[in-house]
A and B are shown apart, each in its own frame.
Chain A
Amino acid sequence: MAILLDRSCRLVVQGITGREGSFHARVSREFGTNVVAGVTPGRGGSDVEGVPVFNTVEQAVRETGANTSLVSVPAAGVADAILEAADAGIRLIVCIADGVPTLDMVKVKPYLAKRGARLIGPNCPGVTSPGERARVGIMPTYMFRPGGVGVVSRSGTLTYEAVALLTEHGLGQSTAVGIGGDPVNGTNFIEVLTMFEADPETKAIVLVGEIGGTAEEDAAAFIKAHVTKPVVAFIAGRSAPPGRRMGHAGAIISGGTGTAESKVAALEDAGAVVVETHVKLGEAMASLLRERGISA
């Protein structure tokens, strides 16, 4: 099971002839993911380490039955690449590119909804389901173990930290999802939480948020009303001053909203265990599961 990604994944890598694209195609294959195609306009007919390259996503889908796409193209071409994938009938699009203009995403979103395609990202580490040997994105793979904890995060390296800490405490993962740090992203916390709640393999959830916006507060309200599984959460940026953008375009405290305090309070009110440093994520999850008599 797991969410979003399972063994049925047939991956096409948009931008496969680039440095990042070819590298991550290889890592995904080594992990056991079925990488069926690459796309680089003008390079159709060639191959990258045995993976056939096509000029268009439509062609790749027609020839190889690709159903999932990794978008690894420069920021200026991201909106175009995402729309091309959606138009070709790809149902899951993972965009790792950063630096994407916000208004491009504002225009992309309604088109995706119309085509029934789901986007993860942009500016995200992607999705990994270790039990399904499925990895789409840039996550390192060595720290994953199959298991029952779902991880959802707005930050890349903090996702890796969370997974490594869980594994260190004997807790495997169903799926790890990095939703990305941009102001407008394809998939939000609530959508991922909904999937984790419905997934029988997922027994507990780790949520990693950060300052800026109100996505964590919205997630907390959703957890309170709809999530029965145990949740351990961390919010990065307690020490960040207001009005300064902390790297991610979305991570800025402005006009008194988006503070760590308000997010922590909302999550605690929703019954989540909120750790004061991400280093405690694994430990807190292990003890919470022991307390509730749940094995994951």
Chain B
Amino acid sequence: MKIHEFQAKALLRDYGVAVPKGAVAATVREAVQVADEIGYPVVVKAQIHAGGRGKGGGIKVAANRDELEAAARSIIGMKLRTPQTKPEGQHVHRVLIEEAMTPARELYLGITLDRKVGQVVVMASEAGGMEIEEVAAASPEKILRAYVDPTIGFLGFQGRELGFAMHLTWEQVRQTADLIARLVRLFEEKDCTLAEINPLVVTQDGRVLALDAKINFDDNALFRHPDIRALRDLDEEDPLEVKASETGVAYVKLDGFVGCMVNGAGLAMATMDVIKLMGGAPANFLDVGAASAERVASAFRVILSDPDVKSILVNIFGGIARGDTIATGIIEAVREVGLNLPLVVRLDGTRAEEGKRMLAESGLPIIVATDLLDGARKAVEAGQR
């Protein structure tokens, strides 16, 4: 789960990490109040989840009240397009107003999981403010790493080592090591998957603070963090994906025309691959999970509410979920939601034959495929017609 920068900074403040003076505003009036209180110049930053906001005109500096009003007016309510948003852009509901500063130095600090090692890693670099992936690709030696021991935790010397390696003064090293330790604590206590501060700045007067903040959370751990769950912003998510997730169906909208319903994430991806191989394009990723009749019905509703879908391919390998149960679910769902698109079903596994017979005898216009290649071919052809 992602959160906004202003929410991330509020969390940082809770953990004692220094951030610039500032507050969020939803209207121009609020923006003026905040800026007047902070004092000019200020930065006006659009609050959307996607990165690359500056490039799309979502971040502006205002030297006085007139400039602030103009900036806030242009950003609040805009459809901000960045390389990371959907092509039509993301609606901006709020801006973060902060004191503007010219930092003496811009560093990078990021905490994430190193899957290879199975441990949390702290990454730091003197090349802050840039795309860190680019730094990692071009000059990996510029990224310093320290691992968090799962039983002992992050240690003081590790923070000092990172600080000295970035050529900070002793006073700045002390602040940085303290800041890193606090950020690690936040990461572990709130089950983060990413806590990134880019840039981490040293101000002209030698203070170390988080100028930007990006924090993502482990969806699997949200059950124990009601405070984090409350920060979820549904406006930032695809409404169909939200609808699907409410019924335990994993759905990701894609840009093709063959709607797919599959059990198992790996098989769902493999099914998308076969559709592509057959000259088509998948309209979605959909893992119906343990395929009960209710889940199948809800998955159908989601697929059918996508106007881009021209045909549907259901691919189920019944292991634990039995073919006859799945067939019942499909038949019930089709009767309930109605169907005006070609539907191709490939059923295999436990009780597949019974399931196929039930589909054939249902009297519904369902195309039963002999195998997956056959099914994908038929679904692609039907969708192109």
Judged by DSSP, the binding face of B is: mixed
Q: Mark A237-258, 1 if CB is under 8 A from B, else 0.
A: 1111101111111110001100
Q: Which residues of B contact A140 (CB under 8 A)?
A: 318-320, 349-350
A208 to B285, CA, bound (A): 19
In the bound complex, do residue B317 and residue A160 qualify as a contact, i.e. CB atoms below 8 Å apart?
A: yes
In the bound complex, do residue B266 and residue A210 qualify as a contact, i.e. CB atoms below 8 Å apart?
A: yes
Q: Flag whether B150 is at the interface (Cβ < 8 A).
A: yes
A130 to B137, CA, bound (A): 45
Q: Flag whether B186 is at the interface (Cβ < 8 A).
A: no
Q: Flag whether B306 is at the interface (Cβ < 8 A).
A: no
In the bound complex, do residue A237 and residue B269 qualify as a contact, i.e. CB atoms below 8 Å apart?
A: yes
Q: Which residue of the partner chain, among A75, A125, A213, contacts B223 with CB atoms under 8 Å?
A: A75
A25 to B219, CA, bound (A): 30
Answer whether A276 and B277 are a contact pair too, CB < 8 Å, given A102-B221, A240-B269: yes
Q: Flag whether A198 is at the interface (Cβ < 8 A).
A: no
Q: Flag whether B334 is at the interface (Cβ < 8 A).
A: no
Q: Which residues of A contact B272 (CB under 8 A)?
A: 237, 239-240
In the bound complex, do residue B269 and residue A251 qualify as a contact, i.e. CB atoms below 8 Å apart?
A: yes
Closest chain A CB from B218 CB (angstroms):
5
Answer whether A255 and B136 are a contact pair too, CB < 8 Å, given A214-B115, A238-B273: yes
Q: Which residues of B contact A218 (CB under 8 A)?
A: 116
Question: From residue 334 to 360 of chain B, which have CB atoms closer than 8 A to chain A?
Answer: 348-350
Q: Flag whether B24 is at the interface (Cβ < 8 A).
A: no
In the bound complex, do residue B267 and residue A184 qualify as a contact, i.e. CB atoms below 8 Å apart?
A: no
Closest chain A CB from B377 CB (angstroms):
12
In the bound complex, do residue A236 and residue B273 qualify as a contact, i.e. CB atoms below 8 Å apart?
A: yes
Q: Which single residue of chain B is at the shortest CB-CB distance from A217?
A: B116
Q: Which residues of A contact B84 (CB under 8 A)?
A: 243
Answer whether A158 and B266 are a contact pair too, CB < 8 Å, given A239-B282, A255-B136: yes
In the bound complex, do residue B150 and residue A101 qualify as a contact, i.e. CB atoms below 8 Å apart?
A: no
Q: Flag whether A38 is at the interface (Cβ < 8 A).
A: no
A160 to B352, CA, bound (A): 14
Question: From residue 85 to 120 of chain A, which have CB atoms closer than 8 A to chain B?
Answer: 99-107, 109-110
A266 to B251, CA, bound (A): 30
Q: Which residues of B contact A184 (CB under 8 A)?
A: 113, 115, 118
Q: Flag whether A161 is at the interface (Cβ < 8 A).
A: yes
Q: Flag whether B270 is at the interface (Cβ < 8 A).
A: yes
Instruction: Classify chain B: how many residues form its interface, as a range.
Output: 35 or more
In the bound complex, do residue A181 and residue B265 qualify as a contact, i.e. CB atoms below 8 Å apart?
A: yes
Q: Which residues of B contact A276 (CB under 8 A)?
A: 273, 277
A109 to B270, CA, bound (A): 30
In the bound complex, do residue B350 and residue A161 qualify as a contact, i.e. CB atoms below 8 Å apart?
A: no
Q: Flag whether A211 is at the interface (Cβ < 8 A).
A: yes
In the bound complex, do residue A106 and residue B120 qualify as a contact, i.e. CB atoms below 8 Å apart?
A: yes
In the bound complex, do residue A279 and residue B266 qualify as a contact, i.e. CB atoms below 8 Å apart?
A: no
Answer whether A246 and B265 are a contact pair too, CB < 8 Å, given A106-B113, A218-B116, A236-B273: yes
Q: Which single residue of chain A is at the shortest CB-CB distance from B316?
A: A157
A164 to B347, CA, bound (A): 13
Q: Which residues of B contact A76 (CB under 8 A)?
A: 223-224
Q: Which residues of A contact B220 (CB under 8 A)?
A: 75, 99-102, 249
A279 to B133, CA, bound (A): 35
In the bound complex, do residue B115 and residue A248 qualify as a contact, i.e. CB atoms below 8 Å apart?
A: no
In the bound complex, do residue B150 and residue A106 qualify as a contact, i.e. CB atoms below 8 Å apart?
A: yes
In the bound complex, do residue A155 and residue B265 qualify as a contact, i.e. CB atoms below 8 Å apart?
A: yes
Q: Which single residue of chain A is at the shortest CB-CB distance from B276?
A: A239
Q: Which residue of the partner chain, among A243, A247, A279, contacts B287 with CB atoms under 8 Å?
A: A247
Closest chain B CB from A177 CB (angstroms):
14
**Total A-B contacts with CB atoms under 8 angstroms apart:** 162
Q: Flag whether A36 is at the interface (Cβ < 8 A).
A: no
Q: Which residues of B contact A142 (CB under 8 A)?
A: 350
Q: Which residues of B contact A251 (CB under 8 A)?
A: 265-266, 269
In the bound complex, do residue B273 and residue A102 qualify as a contact, i.e. CB atoms below 8 Å apart?
A: no
Question: From residue 13 to 37 of chain B, which have CB atoms closer than 8 A to chain A?
Answer: none
Answer whether A156 and B221 are a contact pair too, CB < 8 Å, given A106-B150, A244-B252, A278-B270: no
Closest chain B CB from A209 CB (angstroms):
9
A167 to B272, CA, bound (A): 24
Q: Which single residue of chain B is at the shortest CB-CB distance from A277?
A: B274
A154 to B269, CA, bound (A): 12
Q: Which residue of the partner chain, among A101, A125, A239, A249, contacts B191 with CB atoms under 8 Å?
A: A101
A240 to B300, CA, bound (A): 21
Question: From residue 351 to 385 of chain B, which have CB atoms closer than 8 A to chain A?
Answer: 371-373
Q: Which residues of A contact B276 (CB under 8 A)?
A: 238-239
A102 to B192, CA, bound (A): 9
In the bound complex, do residue B118 and residue A248 qualify as a contact, i.e. CB atoms below 8 Å apart?
A: no
Q: Flag whether B268 is at the interface (Cβ < 8 A).
A: yes
In the bound complex, do residue B265 and residue A239 qualify as a contact, i.e. CB atoms below 8 Å apart?
A: no
Q: Which residue of the partner chain, among A23, A138, A256, contacts B133 with CB atoms under 8 Å?
A: A256
In the bound complex, do residue B115 and residue A236 qualify as a contact, i.e. CB atoms below 8 Å apart?
A: no
Q: Which single residue of chain A is at the shortest CB-CB distance from B194?
A: A254
Q: Flag whether A72 is at the interface (Cβ < 8 A).
A: no
In the bound complex, do residue B252 and residue A210 qualify as a contact, i.e. CB atoms below 8 Å apart?
A: no
Q: Flag whether A183 is at the interface (Cβ < 8 A).
A: yes
Answer whether A109 and B118 are a contact pair too, CB < 8 Å, given A102-B220, A184-B113, A237-B273: yes
Q: Which residues of A contact B264 (CB under 8 A)?
A: 155-158
A50 to B281, CA, bound (A): 51
Question: From residue 251 to 302 of chain B, which have CB atoms closer than 8 A to chain A?
Answer: 252, 254, 262-270, 272-277, 281-282, 285, 287
List 25 A-B pairs, Cβ < 8 Å: A102-B113, A102-B191, A103-B113, A104-B221, A140-B349, A142-B350, A143-B349, A153-B266, A156-B264, A156-B319, A157-B264, A184-B113, A208-B266, A239-B269, A239-B276, A244-B252, A246-B265, A247-B269, A249-B218, A249-B220, A255-B133, A277-B270, A277-B274, A277-B277, A278-B267
* 4 nearest A-B pairs in the assembled complex, by CB-CB distance: A155-B266, A247-B265, A157-B264, A101-B221
Known: A181-B265, A184-B118. 11 other contacts (CB 8 A): A106-B118, A106-B119, A109-B118, A140-B318, A154-B266, A158-B267, A161-B270, A236-B273, A246-B268, A249-B219, A256-B137
